Structure 1
Amino acid sequence: MISNGVSGNKYMDGPDQVVPSDTYISCVPGGHVKLRQTSRGLASEPPISVPGLLKRTAARYPDGPALVTKKADGKWHYTTYKQYQERVRTVAKGFLKLGLERYHSVCILGFNSEEWYLADLGVIHAGGYAAGIYTTNSAEACYHCLESSRANICAVQDKKQLEKILSVRSRLKHLKAIVQWEEPVDTSVPGVYSWAQLMEMGAAEPDTQLDDILKSISVNECCTLVYTSGTVGPPKAVMLSHDNLTWDAFVIGEQVGDVKPTVDKIITFLPLSHVAAQVVDIYTTLSNAVAVYFAKPDALKGSLVETLREVRPTRFLAVPRVWEKMYEKIMAVGAQNSGLKKNIALWAKDKGMKHHLARMNGQNGTTCGFKLARTLVFNKVHETLGLDKCSTFVTAAAPLSADIKKFFLSLDMPIMEAFGMSEASGAHTLSIYPRFRPESSGLILEGTETKFGGAVSPHGPGEIMMRGRHIFMGYLNDEAKTREAIDDEGWLHSGDVGRLDTNNLLYITGRIKELLITAGGENIAPVLIEQQVQAELIHIGYAVLIGDRRKFLSILITLKSKVNNDTGEPLDELDTETAKWVAGLGSKAKTVSEIVNTKDPAVHKAIEEAITRANKHAISNAQKIQKFAVLPKDFSNHTGELGPTLKIKRNVVYEKYKDIIEDLYKE
C-alpha cells in the first residue's frame, strides 16, 4: 500500500499543519501526501484545513448568514457563521461520544439540509471521514459505502433511509450508531438516535478530546470520501484531502471573481454526495461567506422554480437536465406568443446574441438596442425564472448542448461550463464571461496543469490529463486502481478526449469509454450527435447513439412523459407539451405505448425529419444516423437509466434494450 509511514501522533500543531511526506499519493487510512505548492500564483496559497477555514470565516463574519432553512412555520430561519461553527463542534463531540474513531467514517444519507452540512463538517472536525451516500442507492449499495469506509456512524434523513441501513446492519462490523435527523424517530430501536439526542450528547461533552484531535489533523490527510458512479465494478472511494477541497474552492472563488461575502446567496439542491455540489455548495460558500438556502426535497420534480423565485440567488449551479427543462418551458411559453409579442421576442434575442458575441470578441460597451431588449424582454424572463439577481450561471456534471447555451446567451444568460471529476476535487475548468465560448467546457483553473496524451498514452490519443493541488490522494485501499488513474509523473488521466484553444479554453471532443468504433474503424463521439438530434426536436426526452462494432449508426429515442411525483418513475401518458406536439402532427395518440405499438406514422415521420436535419451536420457518412427506435419508457433515476446527476448510464440502457437494438441491425 502507498503510504509515507509517518505517524500523525508526532505532529500536534494542527489542524493547518502539513505533515512531512515523500509521496503525492496515498491509499491508506491515516496516510499523508505532498502538496503541489508553487512559489507564486494561486498554487502558492498557504494551505488551510476544513476546520481552519470554518474558524477563519466565523471569525471574519460571525453574524453573516450561513445556512438558511424554511421551517414548518413557512419562514426562513438563519444560522450565522458563528452558530455554524458552534454547532459543528457540538456534532463532532456527539460523534465522538457515539464512538467515532480516527480515520473511520460517518456516512450521510439524505437530501440537502443543515444537518447534512453539520454532519459533514462535524465528522471532519472529529478526525474522521465524511462520506455521502446517494439517496437513490439500494440497501446493498449503501452497505458497500458503509463497509468500505469503515463507518462507525450513519446519519440518515428519515425512516425510509433508516430501513435501508437496518436491513444490512448485521453485516456492518464497524457500525456503532445511526442518527436520524427528521422526526419522528423510533429511538426504541437499539443504536438509533435522534438528532436532538446527538446534539444533547455533544453539548454535554467537554472540549478536551475534540481539541486534541484537531491538533493532530493536517491539511495533507484525507477528510472526505466521494464515491464514484460505479458504472464499471463497485464504486471506488475517492480520497480527498483538506487541501484538495479548500484549495479548489479558493481557486473557483478567485476565478468567478467579485464574490460578495454575506451578500451572495445560492440554493443547494444537487446531491451533496456528488463532488460538484460539495465543492461549490459546502466549500466555496464557506470560503467566501456565502449564504446557502436549502431547496425542498422535490426540487428536481418541480418545486425548484418556486424556491428560485422566493430566494432569488446571486449564483446558480445546475446540471444540464435542469437547464434543458428551463429551455423547454421557455420554448413552450414562446410558442403561445403570436404577432407583435413574438416579433419583439425574436428581435430581443437577436440583440442579445449580437451583444454577447461582441463582448466575447473583445468589444466593450453595450451594442445598439441591447438595453431596450433587456428592459422589454430579458428582465421579465429572468424574473419569471427567479434568476433576476443572478450574476453567475453554471452547468456541471455532464455536457450541456452548445445550442442550449446559445439560446440562454440570447436571453442575456451566459451559462458557464465547469469540467472536472471526483478525482480532481470537482472543478478543473470554469469559463468566466466574457472569456467564454458556448462550445467550450471552460477556462483551465489558474494554478493547475493540463496536457494531452498522444499515441503513447495507454488511455488513447488526445486524452485530457490534469495535475495540481486539487488532484486526489488515491482510492481508499485500492493501489492498483490508483496507479491506473495517476501515472508516475502525477498526471491524472481523465478518460476524456479534448483540446485547448489559444485562450486556454478546453473543448471536450469525446470520452474514451463512450467512443463508438464502427465496423469500418471510425471513432465516433456519441454525445455531440445525440445533442444535435435533441436540438432538432425538443420533445425527445433522451437520445442514445448505437453503433459500436456495427456497420452503421442508429439511435434510441425516448418521448417525454408524465412522472409519478412520489417515485419519479416515468408514466405511459405523454407530458402536456409533448401531447400537444403529437396532436399537432395529426396523431390521436395520448400515450407512449400507443406510439410505440402502432409505430405511429405521424410521430415517426417527424422524428425521421429531425434526424435528417441532424445528419446534415455530420462530418462524414459514417457519422450519419440510419435507423431509430422509440423506447417504451422515458429514462429516470428510479428505473436505472440515469445516475444521481441525471447522466445517462449507457451500459444500463444497452443491456435493458438489447433486443430492440438487435432488431435495428437485422438484415
Structure 2
Amino acid sequence: MREFSVPVLVDVPSSANCTDVVFQRGADEPDVVVIRRKDGDGPDAPWTPITASEFRDQVAGLAKGLIAAGIEPGDRIALISRTRYEWTLIDYAIWAAGAVCVPIYDTSAVEQVKWIVSDSGAKAVFAETTPHEETVREAAPGLSLLWGIDSGGLDAVRELGAEVTDETLAERRSCRGGRDLATIIYTSGTTGMPKGCRLTHDNLLFTARNVAQGPLEQMFEVDERSALLFLPLAHSFPRIIQVVLLETGTVMAHTPNMKNVAPDLQSFKPTFLLGVPRVFEKVYNAAELRATTEGKGKIFQAAVAAAVAWSKAEGSGGAGLGVRLKHALFDKLVYGKLRAATGGALTAAVSGGSALGDRLGHFFRGIGIEVFEGWGLTETSAPSTVNIPGANKVGTVGKPFPGVSVKIADDGEILVKGRHVFDGYWNNERATKEAIDSEGWFHTGDVGELDQDGYLRITGRKKEIIVTAGGKNVAPGPLEDAIRAHRLVGQAIVVGDDRPFVAALVTLDPEALEQWKQTAGRAEVAVTDPALVAEVQTAVDAANRMVSRAEQIKKFVILDTELSEESGHVTPKQSIKRNVVLRDFAEQVDELYG
C-alpha cells in the first residue's frame, strides 16, 4: 500500500486555544483533582492534590503578572527547566497571557541557549535553578526579564499582576485562536544548530483531541486514571501528552529526577505511562539482571518466552491451553512482581522516539503492561500514527490517527499530511519550503512501508541508510536495536558507508557491567577481555540472524567510554548523534577496516 488516510474524528473550532480547558474545568468542576504535586524528593514524600480551580487560579495569577510585566500577545517567553509541576503551570500561564512558550532543554549549553533565545527573539525567560539563571545571563546578557523558579521568581511575577483584573486576563486569553502560534520547539537535531518548529494552538488541540477521543480513548476512560511524566517536557512527545492529560481530565504528576522514577511509580501508582524505547529496555534489563543475580535466570528466561508466546498468540487469534497455563503460572511467579514495581495499577504505556522492537513489545504485553508504539516528529506535533487498544500490531507504529494521511514516496520516504503538521520553521522559510511540498505533504526524512491494513513500519532514516562499497543498502536501526537488547550493551552504532562490509561500535551499560564483574569475580575488566567480547558477540550474532549475509556485521569494537548527553554524543531525547560519534571515534572505525 502506498497511501492511507483516516477521517477526522474531532473538528476543533477555530476560536479554541489550549487554555480553554483550564478555565472551563476550573469553573465547571472546581473540586476535581487534575494534578498531584510531590512535596520533596524522598520516596515517602506525599503527593499533594491540586484541584481544577486551584490550577486555574495559579495559571491566572501568573498570567496576570506576565501582562503587568509588559508581555504582549505573540511575545516569546523561553522556559528552561526539568519536568516538574512548575513547567506545566508556566506553560499554560504563558498561553493565558497570549504569549508563545519556547522550551529549552535543561541540559543545554550556553551556546545552545544563546541561539534559541536570540533566534526566537524571546522577551523573557523562566529558569529553574541558579545555574540555569547563570547560563541564561551568559547567553543573553541584555535580557531584562529573567525569573528563577527556585529563587522566588514565580511569586515575584504574581505580585506584579495583583492589580490586573479578571476582565483584562479574559480579553488577553480570548485574543488567541487556533491559527495563532502556541509554541516554538527547537528540534534537538544531530547536526548544526536546531531549527524552531512553529506549532499553533490548532496543531496541538487537533492532535490531542483526535488522539484522546480516537485511538487512545480506552486509556483515558478508566476510573481514577493517572499518568506520571518524567521525560523532558521540552520535547514535543511528552508536551503533547501533557495537553492530552489536561484535555481528558487525567490526573498528572511529574518526576524531575530520572533516578526517582522507580520509587515514584510505586508511590503514585499511575494507570498510564509514556516513555522512549531506552526506558523500556532498562526496565527489562534490570529485571533480567536481578533475576540472574538471584540465581533465577533460567526461570526469568522461561517467563519471558511464555510472555512473548502468549502475546504473539493473542495477536493472531488467541492462545492455546498450554500457552495459557504457562502464562498463568508465570503471572504469579514473575509478571505480578514486575507490575508491582510500577505501582500495580499500570496497564498501558505509549512509546515513541525510536523503534521499540518486537521482542520488548510482546514481552510487556505478555506481562500485562501493553505498550502502544507510535511515530511522529516535532514538525507533526509529535504523533502521526499510533497503535490502539484491541488492534495493537506489535512491530509497527500503528495507523494514522484521525485526520492524518500517510504516503510512501517512490524512494521509500514517509510523507504526512494533516492539521497536525506544523506551521513551518521559525525564521527559515527556505527550510520550510524544502520540508513541505506544493501539495501540502510534509517530507519526514524517515523511510518505511505501509502494510495492507494501513499499519506503518519504520525501516530507517533516509539520511542514515548505509551504502557499502559493494552497493548494498543497509538500514542501521534494526541491527542497533537488536544489539541493544543485550543487557550488557548501552549503545550500538552500525557503520559501513563506502566500506567493504558492515561493522559496529558498541558501548557497555555501566550498571550491567558492574554486575557482570561481580558475577565473574573480577575487580576490573578491559573492554578487550575475551569473555566480555564473547558476551557482546552473542548480541551481534542475534542481530545478524535478522538480515542477509551482505547486511551482517562482520566486526565490532567495544568502546571504553559511555555515550551520553554530557559527552555530546546523544540528544536530549536519547537519539545518537551519528555524525558526532563517527567524528570522535574515526580512529576506531578505521581500525575495524585496518
TM-score range, shorter chain: over 0.9
Q: Which residue is 2:466 aligned to?
A: 516
Residue deviations 1:77-101, cap 9 Å, x none? Answer: 2211122122112111111222213
**Distance in 1, Cα, partners of 2:135 & 2:295:** 53
Q: Which residue is 2:11 aligned to?
A: 44
Q: Which residue is 1:407 aligned to?
A: 363
Deviates more, 1:253-262 or 1:101-110: 253-262
Structure 2 counterpart of 1:479, from 429, 434, 445: 429
Structure 1 counterpart of 2:455, from 489, 505, 513: 505
**Distance in 2, Cα, partners of 1:381 & 1:216:** 49
Answer yes or no: is the 8 Å Cα contact 1:43–1:469 preserved in 2. no
**Distance in 2, Cα, partners of 1:224 & 1:358:** 44
Structure 2 counterpart of 1:80, from 51, 57, 60: 51
**Distance in 1, Cα, partners of 2:123 & 2:320:** 58
Matched letter for residue 562 of structure 2: D
Answer yes or no: is the 8 Å Cα contact 1:276–1:427 preserved in 2. yes
TM-score (norm 2): 0.92
Deviates more, 1:507-516 or 1:200-209: 200-209
Q: In the TM superposition, what are the counterparts of 1:198-213 in structure 2 within 5 Å?
A: 198-213=157-172
Q: Structure 1 residue 97 and structure 2 residue 34: aligned? A: no
Q: Which runs of 5+ in 2 are unaligned?
A: none
Q: In the TM superposition, what are the counterparts of 1:274-353 in structure 2 within 5 Å?
A: 274-280=235-241, 282-295=242-255, 297-299=256-258, 302-336=259-293, 343=299, 348-353=303-308
**Distance in 2, Cα, partners of 1:607 & 1:86:** 55
Measure how far apart 1:43 and its partner are: 5.0
**Distance in 2, Cα, partners of 1:293 & 1:365:** 40
What is the root-mean-square deviation of aligned Cα atoms in Å? Answer: 2.4
Structure 2 counterpart of 1:602, from 526, 531, 534: 531
Measure how far apart 1:437 and its partner are: 2.5
**Distance in 2, Cα, partners of 1:79 & 1:539:** 42
Answer yes or no: is the 8 Å Cα contact 2:60–2:93 preserved in 1. yes
Q: Structure 1 residue 264 and structure 2 residue 225: aligned? A: yes
Using a 3 Å threshold, how does the CA distance of structure 1 residues 354 and 612 change in structure 2: closer, same or farther?
closer
Answer yes or no: is the 8 Å Cα contact 2:396–2:458 preserved in 1. yes
Answer yes or no: is the 8 Å Cα contact 2:127–2:133 preserved in 1. yes
Identity of aligned residues (%): 29
Answer yes or no: is the 8 Å Cα contact 1:552–1:625 preserved in 2. yes
Residue deviations 1:156-183, cap 9 Å, x none? Answer: 111010000111232x4xx331111114
**Distance in 2, Cα, partners of 1:117 & 1:91:** 12
Measure how far apart 1:589 and its partner are: 5.9
Matched letter for residue 70 of structure 2: G
**Distance in 1, Cα, partners of 2:466 & 2:311:** 35
Q: Which residue is 1:556 aligned to?
A: 505
Q: In the TM superposition, what are the counterparts of 1:122-201 in structure 2 within 5 Å?
A: 122-170=93-141, 172=142, 175-183=143-151, 194-201=153-160
**Distance in 2, Cα, partners of 1:178 & 1:526:** 43
Using a 3 Å threshold, how does the CA distance of structure 1 residues 240 and 113 change in structure 2: closer, same or farther?
same
Answer yes or no: is the 8 Å Cα contact 1:320–1:398 preserved in 2. yes
**Distance in 2, Cα, partners of 1:39 & 1:359:** 25
Answer yes or no: is the 8 Å Cα contact 1:418–1:428 preserved in 2. yes
Q: Structure 1 residue 628 and structure 2 residue 556: aligned? A: yes
**Distance in 1, Cα, partners of 2:542 & 2:239:** 40
Tell me the secondary structure at the aligned position of residue 460 of structure 2.
Answer: strand
Answer yes or no: is the 8 Å Cα contact 1:450–1:467 preserved in 2. yes
Answer yes or no: is the 8 Å Cα contact 1:43–1:448 preserved in 2. no
**Distance in 2, Cα, partners of 1:357 & 1:108:** 44
Answer yes or no: is the 8 Å Cα contact 2:507–2:560 preserved in 1. yes
Tell me the secondary structure at the aligned position of residue 207 of structure 2.
Answer: helix
**Distance in 1, Cα, partners of 2:177 & 2:483:** 50
Measure how far apart 1:612 and its partner are: 3.5
Residue deviations 1:364-391, cap 9 Å, x none? Answer: 99974245543443222200232x2112
**Distance in 1, Cα, partners of 2:289 & 2:532:** 19
**Distance in 1, Cα, partners of 2:53 & 2:451:** 44
Q: Which runs of 5+ in 1 are unaligned?
A: 1-37, 186-193, 455-460, 563-573
Q: Which residue is 2:524 aligned to?
A: 590
Using a 3 Å threshold, how does the CA distance of structure 1 residues 202 and 372 change in structure 2: closer, same or farther?
farther
Measure how far apart 1:119 and its partner are: 1.3
**Distance in 2, Cα, partners of 1:618 & 1:317:** 30
Q: Structure 1 residue 390 and structure 2 residue 319: aligned? A: no
Using a 3 Å threshold, how does the CA distance of structure 1 residues 262 and 616 change in structure 2: closer, same or farther?
closer
Tell me the secondary structure at the aligned position of residue 476 of structure 1.
Answer: coil
Q: Which residue is 2:190 aligned to?
A: 231
Q: Which residue is 1:649 aligned to?
A: 577
Tell me the secondary structure at the aligned position of residue 475 of structure 1.
Answer: coil
**Distance in 1, Cα, partners of 2:545 & 2:330:** 33
**Distance in 1, Cα, partners of 2:319 & 2:484:** 34
Tell me the secondary structure at the aligned position of residue 417 of structure 1.
Answer: strand
Q: Structure 1 residue 378 and structure 2 residue 312: aligned? A: no
Matched letter for residue 161 of structure 2: G
**Distance in 2, Cα, partners of 1:353 & 1:91:** 49
Using a 3 Å threshold, how does the CA distance of structure 1 residues 608 and 42 change in structure 2: closer, same or farther?
same
Q: Which residue is 1:566 aligned to?
A: none
Q: Structure 1 residue 361 and structure 2 residue 316: aligned? A: yes
Matched letter for residue 129 of structure 1: V
Structure 2 counterpart of 1:453, from 385, 409, 428: 409
Q: Structure 1 residue 578 and structure 2 residue 516: aligned? A: yes
Measure how far apart 1:228 and its partner are: 0.6
Measure how far apart 1:44 and its partner are: 3.3
**Distance in 1, Cα, partners of 2:56 & 2:231:** 23
Using a 3 Å threshold, how does the CA distance of structure 1 residues 39 and 270 change in structure 2: closer, same or farther?
closer
Matched letter for residue 615 of structure 1: N
Q: How many residues align?
A: 582
Q: Structure 1 residue 444 and structure 2 residue 400: aligned? A: yes
**Distance in 2, Cα, partners of 1:580 & 1:60:** 59
Measure how far apart 1:525 and its partner are: 0.6
Measure how far apart 1:363 and its partner are: 4.2
Using a 3 Å threshold, how does the CA distance of structure 1 residues 74 and 98 change in structure 2: closer, same or farther?
same
Deviates more, 1:539-548 or 1:607-616: 607-616
Answer yes or no: is the 8 Å Cα contact 1:98–1:176 preserved in 2. no
Q: Which residue is 1:661 aligned to?
A: 589
**Distance in 2, Cα, partners of 1:138 & 1:77:** 33
**Distance in 2, Cα, partners of 1:446 & 1:365:** 35
Answer yes or no: is the 8 Å Cα contact 1:429–1:444 preserved in 2. yes
**Distance in 2, Cα, partners of 1:446 & 1:478:** 29
Q: Which residue is 1:19 aligned to?
A: none
Using a 3 Å threshold, how does the CA distance of structure 1 residues 67 and 43 change in structure 2: closer, same or farther?
closer
Q: Which residue is 1:458 aligned to?
A: none
**Distance in 1, Cα, partners of 2:401 & 2:538:** 42
Answer yes or no: is the 8 Å Cα contact 2:408–2:450 preserved in 1. no
**Distance in 1, Cα, partners of 2:420 & 2:110:** 32
Answer yes or no: is the 8 Å Cα contact 2:178–2:202 preserved in 1. yes
Residue deviations 1:168-212, cap 9 Å, x none? Answer: 232x4xx331111114x5xxxxxxxx2211122223322343333
Tell me the secondary structure at the aligned position of residue 164 of structure 1.
Answer: helix
Residue deviations 1:530-557, cap 9 Å, x none? Answer: 122233x320111100111111111001
Residue deviations 1:336-363, cap 9 Å, x none? Answer: 4558x955x5665555434433332244
**Distance in 2, Cα, partners of 1:613 & 1:375:** 30
Answer yes or no: is the 8 Å Cα contact 1:360–1:433 preserved in 2. no
TM-score (norm 1): 0.83
Using a 3 Å threshold, how does the CA distance of structure 1 residues 325 and 347 change in structure 2: closer, same or farther?
closer
Matched letter for residue 533 of structure 2: H
Answer yes or no: is the 8 Å Cα contact 1:315–1:390 preserved in 2. yes
